[in-house]
Structure 1
C-alpha cells in the first residue's frame, strides 16, 4: 500500500515513471551515444560507450552476472544544458512519505531506493561552483532526513544487482520531471537559510509574446518587416497602425458573421494603442504609414473640388431661374385672388405651392469624403461620422490629448459617445438650442494612438480599482501592444522601398473602390459573409479556450470583461486577412469573397493569442508597479538599517515611491522572491527584513 501511495503522489505531482533506458532516453531527450556504461569492482573502474542501448546492456549483463557493480550515466546531458546536479540522499523516519514527496516536488529526479529511502536530484543552473557546494551543504544541514548531499555533473542511472538482473529494468523506482532551477529558486523552494547571489530584477518582465509575422498575409508580412528594419523598431509598432488602417478602409463595405443565422454582425474596425518609451521607434513608423492614405485623400479632394464647382454653377442657375419664377408666381397669385369659387381657389393654391416647393429646392452641398481625423471634439466627430457612412480612423500621434478630452462633464459625454461608435451600428443624436438636432447612425470609428507607459498605465490601474473610469472604454481597445524593445529589433536601418509603399497604397485604393459584389441598395448588415464550417470550428475552439478563465478566481473581473469582448476579435482579423489575401496587385482588384476560410481563421487565432499576451501584461499593472518600486528600494537599500521594516522605507518618503505601506509591502515581497532580502528571525513585535550580504559586499567594492 505504501508503494501505491508513493506512486499516486508522484503522478499527482506530474512526474513521469521511467522503467527502462529506452523510456528514459525518450522522455529526457538524451542521445544513445552519450550514455556511459560503467563497471565498478573495488577501486577499479572501467567505462565504455556504445552506439546502441542494446549493445551496452548486453555488455553490462555479462559484467553483472560476474557479480560486478554496474551503472549507466550521462555526462553530456547536464553539460549541454549548463546544469549541475545537487544529489541528496534521504531517510525519512519522522516525516510522512506524501509530505516529503511534496516538499521535494520541485526536483527533477526522485528515486526510491528502499523503505522510506530516496535519492533526490535537483538540476541547478551553472553559475558559480562554490555556490553549488554551499547549496549541497545547506541541503544536508537544513533539510530534514537528508543523510548526505553532493554536487554531481552527470545524470546517474542505477541498475539492479547481479541476483535480480533484468535487462530492461532499473534497480529502483525512478521518476523524472525536467524543471531546472536557478540558485535563488533552489534556496527559496527548499526554504534554506543560506545566501546566494540574488536574481536580477526587471521591471519590464512579463509573458508578452513577439509578433508571429509568419501568421500575417504576405503583403502585411513584407510591410511589417520592411518598416521594422528601416526604423529599427519592434515589428509590433509597424503591425498595429497597419492593421488599424486597413480595417478602417474596409469599414462598412463588408462585414462578417460567425454563422449564417447569427444576429452578430461584425465590422473589421480596431481600437489600438502602441505603448513604448520615448525613443522606442513607435512614432516614426506611424507617421510614415500615414502616406498610405495619400492617394485616397488626393482623389477625395479632387472629387470634392469638382463637386463644389458644379454646386456653385447650379446655385447661379438657380438664382437666375428664381427671378423668372418670382414673376410667374406673382401672376399666378393675382389669378387666384380673382377666382370666386373657394374650392377651385384652394386647388389652385395647392398646385402653386407644390410648384414653388419643387422649384425652390436647393442643390445639395457636397461633402468632403474623410478617411482620417487627427483631432476632433465630441460634436465635430459626430458630424464627421454622420457624413462619412463607411466610418473613419481617429489617427492620434499621442494619446495624452485624447485622454485630456475625456475629463470633466463634457468628457463623460464624449466617453459615452465613443462607446456607441465601437460596434459600427450605434446611433447618436445631439440636441442643441443654437444648432438644433444633429443625427448620426451606423457610426463606425477606428482608433489608433501611440503613447508612453506613464500615460496609459495609471488609467488602466484606475479601471482595475473600479473607479469611474471603469465604464468599458479601455476594455474596448482590442489591441494594446507594449513590446519589449529588444525583441526582434534589427540594428541595421534602411529605407522602405517606394514600390512597397505604392503596393500598399494600391491595396487601399482597391479596397476603397470595391463593392465586394453587394448591391448598392442592400442594407448594411446584409453586406456580410460568414465563416466557413471549418473556420467556425477553429473560432469556437479558440473562444472556449479564451473564456476558460471564468472558473479562475485569480483573474480580475475587469480583465474577464475585457476578454469577453474578444468574441469579435478573431472574426475581425480573419475577415481582414481574407480581404488582403484576395488582393491582386496586377489587376488592382480585391475579392470576390464568398466566405472566410479556415486558413484565415487559424492565422487570426494565432494573432489573437499574441494580442492577448500583451493585453495580459498591460492589465497586470500591479506586478509591474511592484517590481518598479522594488528596483527603486534596491537602488537605495544601503540607506536602510541592517534590519528594517516596511515603515522604515515608507518614512524615507523617497521620490517615485508611494508611501502607502501596502505598496511598500508588495515591493518587499518582490525583493524576497529575488532573494534580495529575507525576513529576519526572532522579531517579536513587527516583521523585519535583512539584506543579502552579496548586495552589501558589492556596494562596498
Structure 2
C-alpha cells in the first residue's frame, strides 16, 4: 500500500484543532457506560415449589433467562384463576383485587423470547386443544338436536292446524308454544386470544366471563397501535381490563349496544428494548401519560445470557407433569360462586409493614413521576400474586404468611427491572450512541448526522435523537466532529470521523 493510500482524504478538509485531536496518540476512546441499571437476578424462591423445576428445565434447554419463563408462567396461571377468586388486601376495607397480571419480557431479537413464551404457555394451549375437541362434539350434538327439534316443530304445526280447524285456538297456540324456544348453542371455552378487534374481544369476554389471556409474541406492534390516535377507544378498553373487575359499554351503528360485564384480561408478550424505549419515553415526557406502560407490572429486562453451551436432552417429564397438574387444578376451580379472601392475621401484619414502607419510599421527590406511578401500582400486583401463590399451593380459605412473603419478594425484583426499563428510556442518547458504535461500518467516512438519520435505525428516528447520540460519542472520544464550509456560500456542515483505535 502506498503512502498516499494510507492517508485518509478527509484529513485535508479538517480544521487544525480537529486534525490535532484526531492524530493525537494520547487521546483514546473511553468505554461507554452500559446505560442500563443493574437488576436483581431470578431466584427459584420467587415461585411456589411446584413450578420451580420446570422453569429451570426450560431455561437450561432453551438457553434463555429464567425470568422469561417464570414471569410468563405466572401470568398464564393468573389468567386461569381470573375472577374465580379475589382478595381484600385490607381487613376492614372494600378494596378488591383480581389476580390477573400484565407482563412483558424484554430482550434482544436473539434472546429466545418466543421459545420461552411457547414453553410457559404450553399448559394453556393444551387446555385450549381439549376445549376445541369438546366443543366439536357438542356442536355436532347441537346440530343433530336442532334438526330433530325442527322435525318436532313441523309435526306440531300439522297438529296445531288440525286443532285450529276444529275451533280449538288455545290448544293450537299451546302446541306451537311448546317448542318455540331454540336450543342454546354450545360456547367454545377460550383461554388465549392473539389478534382481535376490541369489539370482538368484548364478545369473547362475555362468552368467557372468567377472563382471557392476551398473548402477543411481539408486543411492540400492539402497544404502538393502541397508543396511536386511532387506537384511543381500544386503549380505554384495555385500561379498563387491567383491574379485572370493571365493565364496558360499546355503542356502535350496525352492531348496536354491546355491554361487556366482565372486563378481565391478563397480558403477556415479548418486545425488543429499542421498541419499548420509545413508548416509555412518551410516558416520561407526558405525551402519552395514561398509565398504560405502568400497568405492565411484571415487566422483566434481564441481562443477556452470554455463555452458550449445547444442551441436547429430553424435557424433565416430572417437572412438566407437575406444572400441568397445577394449571389443571386451577382450571377445575368452578367459575361460580366467586370467593373473596383476606390475609391471615400474620400475613396481614407482613403485608401492612411492606405496604407502608413501599408507599412511603415510592413517594420520594427524587423519583421520576412516571417511575413513581409505576411503583404506586405495585401493591395491587403484590396482593394479586399473594392470592395466586396461595391458590397454587392448594389453599382457598385465607392467604397465608408464606404466600404473602413470597409475593413481597417480587417487589424488589420487579422494581429493579422497572428502574432499568425507565432508565433505558431516560438514557436514550447513550443507547443510541452504543447502536452507532455497533453499526459504524455501515456509515461512510466521513459521515453527517443527516446520513445517520436517513438510516432510520430504531431509537434514532429524529434529528434530535441522532445529535444527542453523536454528542455522547464525541464526549467519549469515539468520533471527532468538524465543520466544513458550505458550497457556494451555503451553511457550514458538521462531519464526523471515527477515531482510530
TM above 0.5, one fold? yes
Q: Which residue of 2 aligns with 1:555?
A: 367
Query: Compared with structure 1, are the counterparts of its residues 354 and 381 closer, same or farther at alpha carbon in structure 2 (3 Å cutoff)?
Result: farther
Cα distance in 2 for residues equivalent to 1:482 and 1:390: 30
Q: Report whether the alignment pairs 1:545 with 2:357.
A: yes
Structure 1 residues 403, 666: closer, same or farther in 2, change over 3 A?
closer
- Aligned partners of 1:288, 1:413: CA distance in 2, in Å? 33
**Given the two structures, how large is their TM-score scaled by the length of structure 2?**
0.79
* Preserved CA contact (<8 Å) 2:159 2:172: no
Match of 1:615 in 2: 418
Deviations 1:8-67 (A, max 9, x none): xxxxxxxxxxxxxxxxxxxxxxxxxxxxxxxxxxxxxxxxxxxxxxxxxxxxxxxxxxxx
On the 8 A contact 2:123/2:324 being kept in 1, the answer is yes
Name the larger-Rg structure: 1
- C-alpha deviations, 1:552-582, integer Å up to 9, x for none? 33322222222221121111111122222x2
C-alpha spacing 1:665/1:401, structure 2 compared with 1 (3 Å): closer
Q: Show CA shifts across 1:255-307 (max 9, x none).
A: 22213433122221111111100111111121233321244223312321222
Ranges in structure 2 where 5+ consecutive residues have no aligned partner: 1-25, 480-496
Which of 260, 266, 269 does residue 446 from structure 1 map onto? 266
Structure 1 residue 632 displacement after superposition: 6.5
Q: TM-score, normalised by structure 1?
A: 0.58
Please, which of 485, 493, 513 is the counterpart of residue 311 of structure 2?
Answer: 493
Q: Is 1:509 the equivalent of 2:328?
A: yes
The residue that corresponds to 1:246 in the other structure is 77
How far apart, CA to CA, are the structure 2 residues paired with 1:324 and 1:633?
A: 80
CA distance in structure 1 between the aligned counterparts of 2:416 and 2:36, rounded to whole angstroms? 12
Please name the residue that 1:432 is paired with: 252
Return the alpha-carbon distance in structure 1 between the equivalents of residues 414 and 375 of structure 2. 11
Asked if 2 retains the 8 angstrom alpha-carbon contact of 1:229 and 1:492, the reply is: no
SS of equivalent residue, structure 1 residue 502: helix
Instruction: Work out whether residues 629 and 664 of structure 1, in 8 Å CA contact, stay in contact via their aligned partners in 2.
Output: no
Which residue is equivalent to 1:236? 67
Structure of higher RCO (CA pairs closer than 8 Å, 6+ residues apart): 2
How far residue 452 of structure 1 moved from its aligned partner, in angstroms, is 0.8
Equivalent residue for 2:182, pick from 334, 337, 362: 362
**In the alignment, does 2:348 pair up with 1:536?**
yes
What is the CA-CA distance between 1:652 and the residue it aligns to? 8.7
Cα RMSD between the aligned structures? 3.4
Cα distance, 1:332 vs structure 2: 4.9
Match of 2:484 in 1: none
Q: Tell me how far apart the structure 2 counterparts of residues 599 and 199 of structure 1 sit (CA, whole Å).
A: 48
Structure 1 unaligned blocks of 5 or more: 1-194, 339-347, 583-590, 642-647, 678-695
**Counterpart-to-counterpart distance in 1, 2:129 and 2:138:** 14
- Which residue of 327, 334, 341 corresponds with 2:158? 327
- Please give the alpha-carbon distance, in whole angstroms, between the structure 2 residues aligned to 1:354 and 1:261: 55
| Bigger strand fraction | 1
Corresponding residue for residue 200 of structure 1: 31
Q: How many pairs does the alignment contain?
A: 450
What is the distance in 2 between the residues matched to 1:408 and 1:628? 24
1:558 and 1:420 map into 2 onto residues whose CA distance is 19
How far apart, in 2, do the equivalents of 1:460 and 1:578 lie?
Answer: 33
Give the deviation of 1:436 after TM superposition: 3.2
What's 2:101 paired with? 270
Does 2:116 correspond to 1:309?
A: no
In structure 1, C-alpha distance between the alignment counterparts of 2:310 and 2:355, rounded to whole Å: 40
For residues 215-263 of structure 1, give each alpha carbon's deviation from its aligned partner in whole angstroms, at most 9, with x where no partner exists. Answer: 3211222111111111111111111211111111111222222134331
CA contact (8 A) 2:87 2:387 kept: yes
3-state SS, counterpart of residue 603 of structure 1 = helix
Distance change in 2, residues 1:566/1:671 (3 Å): farther
Aligned partners of 2:332 and 2:30: how far apart in 1?
57
Higher relative helix content: 2
Aligned equivalents of 1:215, 1:412: Cα separation in 2: 36
Query: 1:651 touches 1:659 (CA, 8 Å); kept in 2?
Result: no
Q: Distance in 2 between matches of 1:281 and 1:217?
A: 24
